[in-house]
A and B are shown apart, each in its own frame.
Chain A
């Protein structure tokens, strides 16, 4: 053992820290909500590319003057790429119409339509429901799996940790009003998978320690498990965050928010797998008896 850090001693601080983050997330989510993307709200999105930079204000006032409703205009990745969103209903030739309006603003600045997307309101609603359902389903299935593979208290602990991760990631997206679209939802599900992965590695060690460290109390056992797996937890999180940074910086604008959700989620998930799950197990008063009789487990564990 290189060094041992008494994680359990600071678990009350961790509880406070998590509590504060959760509270902030819930407040932000209930006050300003999520900046839902086109996938969920429905509407129209157009991406155009100008030859040279064009002031965003000019574009949006031109579009409003032309009678388009709820127009938001923003640059997308570079100054010459413009993304427009409006609550305009679908029309086959909307793209060309908007192009004409925009070309009139500055005839000398050539522009091309890169992409246009139209999502109906019904579709958005459907996707929203499906997305929420998927998240709940993932949590539910995971809970059952962990309960079957480990023990009920472990499953409560790990699912609580997952809730914690998802809620705080959502909180970050709400606080900074980052766009929440289908890919971000996918990222959240991946965070669930990833964070659970971490939690399970720690849980595996806790279970093993309960068997091998016969004379230690629960806090000691958890400390030992966290310390023994810390090297691995940090290393894996580090490699994952490295590749996510690569995605964030060179992956392009379309998956920027996706990479962002994963990065936030994995940072929080790493913290939670160290603290939240184990703290909750302490709170749930996990004892050696919970994991005994281990005879059946023993067999499975010894499998090469």
Chain B
């Protein structure tokens, strides 16, 4: 029969709409202001006593607590009003000290029955909910000092290989001084260096019986090295941010040595800080030989067991920035292992050192830079001050079985150990140390205004379109209106399900979708009118109208979708949010404007003898 949908199709549409309503629902529950407490030590459990302590601190200061909950390593304390949120955070941080990370958070209030279905609200962007903004500084001085030390080692090796006899190679501030016995050797070295090391500025300093070449790295090379370090750190940070599971993070270079990290929607700086602030680096070192001098060795604890220690040589073979990859896998006997790849320089040094160290043990040392808050008296007032402390611990100590190169493996691990070691090795691939210089949490008050204005424009725009459609297309206009509202619900549900972030331009995208989604219906309805004018019966007109408009709708929507995808690919932050809502809006409107309106039209008009259709336009 013409214009009748089979039962399964109607049921399917109802099912999709019901599903959409459920998954869009969590957005109706506003979140609670909360503070979140996590132990600074990764993997540590949160104890109930700490939570009671926090409750006590807050109550003593007259801040009302709504509820608290402990979830693994995280404690969430909900407050009754957002006014005291900041004060509460400062109070708790002060009392708990640096063993815990305290952060502002917005705790979702999604009812349990919705949560049990995996439903949750959309994440709001930095511009709507506020969010976290970090500024990290890359310690270029430390990095350059490391590079220069590397050069010193390299020069020693190369000069020896070339048979150029030097007396010593020493680092003097930013320079490397190479001392020679006489001018002839120095001249020979000069010509070798000018040939092989264009990145050095050379200066001959000869006095009495001292013959030396002073080498300093050229400005251009310094810039190149710094750029490399920053890019490497950016990449690592991006990976770490990905670990956080933030929908639209922004990790961007700012100036010569800073990196901006913006995590919209995330108000729990705790997790973010912990992962970003790991600021880890690695050092590969040989274990000290028994009886070695204390001057050339140092003792370090193990990361897994701080009471177990090992004595290592002070000399560093290579550092984490030469690690290009590290993957856990299994050896031929099915035992867990970690495969490590080094860059060519790291590999060469590794080969050279390990050749003479077979059967000795090599340690991987994990270097962490942690901010520590101390309180000092300034003008009689106690002021918090953040200083950087360096902590080193051994993450692996394994016997060297044979000479190692740029690709080797660490065996004798347990499975979990192997994957953690691989993770640490990769995460440790920071070219230069980094620390926070600014942390800004954009409070929710600013975003509230934007949400309000955004919501207002959606409502106003929607109302205008609804009125216009009803006036212009009568009953068909009402059908389109139902579809339009359903479209918004489905769009919000889809955004919530995939965890997309809503930004202010994203709301604008929804508004635009409202205007554009009716396009499909307009196309169909004007086609129906046309068919009626051409003298077709109402039932045939409906059938033909829907059929003929379909290709056009598909073509038109596909092109807009292509542009939206490009926008998504090149856009950053808020612009991406616009691209997301725009493209989702197009997809959902295809369902509502074609399937849903057809079902409604069929339900109202289908399978009946009709004289006229209420579609306006004098037909």
Chain A residues with a Cβ under 8 A of chain B: 1-2, 89-90, 92, 114-115, 118-120, 122-123, 127, 130-131, 133-134, 137-138, 141-142, 145-146, 149, 182-183, 185-186, 189-190, 192-194, 196-198, 200-201, 204-205, 228-229, 231-232, 235-236, 238-247, 249-252, 254-255, 258-259, 262, 300-301, 303-304
Contacts and interface: CB of A to CB of B under 8 A. Distances in A.
A131 B464 CA distance: 33
A205 B530 CA distance: 13
B533 A194 contact: no
B472 interface: yes
A239 B469 contact: yes
Interface string B564-576: 1011011110110
B437 A92 contact: yes
B518 interface: yes
B460 A196 contact: no
B254 interface: yes
Contacts of A228: 530
Interface in B533-578: 533, 546-547, 550-552, 555-564, 566-567, 569-572, 574-575, 578
A186 B454 CA distance: 17
B461 A258 contact: no
B600 interface: no
Nearest to A196: B559
Given A190-B567, A204-B551, A240 B516 contact: yes
A182 B574 contact: yes
B interface, how many residues as a size bin?
35 or more
Interface in B87-136: 127, 135
Contact of A197 (B460, B472, B560): B560
A158 B438 CA distance: 49
Nearest to A115: B446
Contacts of A252: 449-450, 453-454, 504
A183 B563 contact: no
29 contacts: A2-B618, A90-B258, A92-B438, A115-B442, A130-B570, A141-B566, A142-B562, A149-B555, A183-B505, A190-B582, A193-B561, A193-B564, A196-B559, A196-B563, A200-B555, A228-B530, A229-B526, A231-B617, A235-B526, A239-B515, A241-B515, A246-B511, A247-B457, A247-B508, A249-B460, A251-B457, A252-B449, A300-B551, A304-B550
B578 A243 contact: no
Instruction: For the complex of A and B, list the 4 residue pairs with the smallest distance between their C-beta atoms, beginning with the closest.
Output: A243-B461, A193-B563, A240-B515, A252-B453
Contacts of B529: 231
B464 A246 contact: yes
B286 interface: no
A262 B505 contact: no
B571 A186 contact: yes
B62 to A, nearest CB: 24
Given A228-B530, A242-B464, A142 B516 contact: no
A194 B560 contact: yes
Contacts of A251: 453-454, 456-457, 508, 511
Nearest to B473: A235
Contact of B516 (A192, A201, A236, A259): A236
Contacts of A244: 461, 511-512, 515
A289 B574 CA distance: 47
Which of the listed residues A120, A141, A239, A240 has the most CB atoms from chain B within 10 Å of its own CB? A239
B276 interface: no
A118 B254 contact: yes
A201 B563 contact: no
Majority SS of interface residues in chain B? helix
Contacts of A142: 559, 562-563
Given A182-B575, A197-B556, A190 B515 contact: no
Which of the listed residues B442, B458, B460, B529 has the most CB atoms from chain A within 10 Å of its own CB? B460
B11 interface: no
Nearest to B462: A243
B465 A239 contact: yes
B267 to A, nearest CB: 17
A24 B511 CA distance: 31
B231 interface: no
A123 B127 CA distance: 20
Nearest to B453: A252
B401 to A, nearest CB: 47
B252 interface: yes
Nearest to B543: A304
Nearest to A119: B254
Given A231-B526, A255-B505, 6 more contacts: A186-B505, A197-B519, A204-B551, A251-B511, A254-B450, A303-B551
B599 interface: no
B334 interface: no
A137 B551 contact: no
B472 A235 contact: yes
B526 A186 contact: no
Contacts of A1: 533
Contacts of A254: 127, 450, 504
A301 B551 contact: yes
A205 B556 CA distance: 12
A239 B518 contact: yes
A193 B565 CA distance: 11
A130 B569 CA distance: 10
B354 to A, nearest CB: 41
Given A235-B472, A239-B518, A242-B468, A189 B457 contact: no
B556 A200 contact: yes
A231 B615 CA distance: 14
A73 to B, nearest CB: 20
B255 interface: yes
B170 to A, nearest CB: 36
Given A142-B559, A247-B508, A189 B567 contact: yes
Contacts of A238: 468
B4 interface: no
Interface in B424-477: 437-438, 442, 446, 449-450, 453-454, 456-458, 460-462, 464-465, 468-469, 472
Contacts of A197: 516, 519, 556-557, 559-560
Interface string B473-510: 00000000000000000000000000000001100100
Contacts of A190: 512, 563-564, 567, 578, 582
Contacts of A243: 457, 461-462, 464-465, 511-512, 514-515
A242 B465 contact: yes
A141 B511 contact: no
B578 A186 contact: yes
B76 interface: no
A300 B555 CA distance: 12
A289 B477 CA distance: 40
B564 A204 contact: no
Interface in B578-600: 578-579, 582
B156 interface: no
Contacts of A235: 472, 522, 526
A250 B462 CA distance: 13
A182 B618 CA distance: 45
A189 B566 contact: yes
B9 to A, nearest CB: 13
A195 B464 CA distance: 22
A204 B618 CA distance: 26
A114 B443 CA distance: 10
A300 B579 CA distance: 29
Contacts of B559: 142, 145-146, 193, 196-197, 200
Nearest to A123: B252
B438 A137 contact: no
A21 to B, nearest CB: 23
A301 B560 CA distance: 20
A283 B446 CA distance: 53
A115 B253 CA distance: 20
A254 B447 CA distance: 11
B523 interface: yes
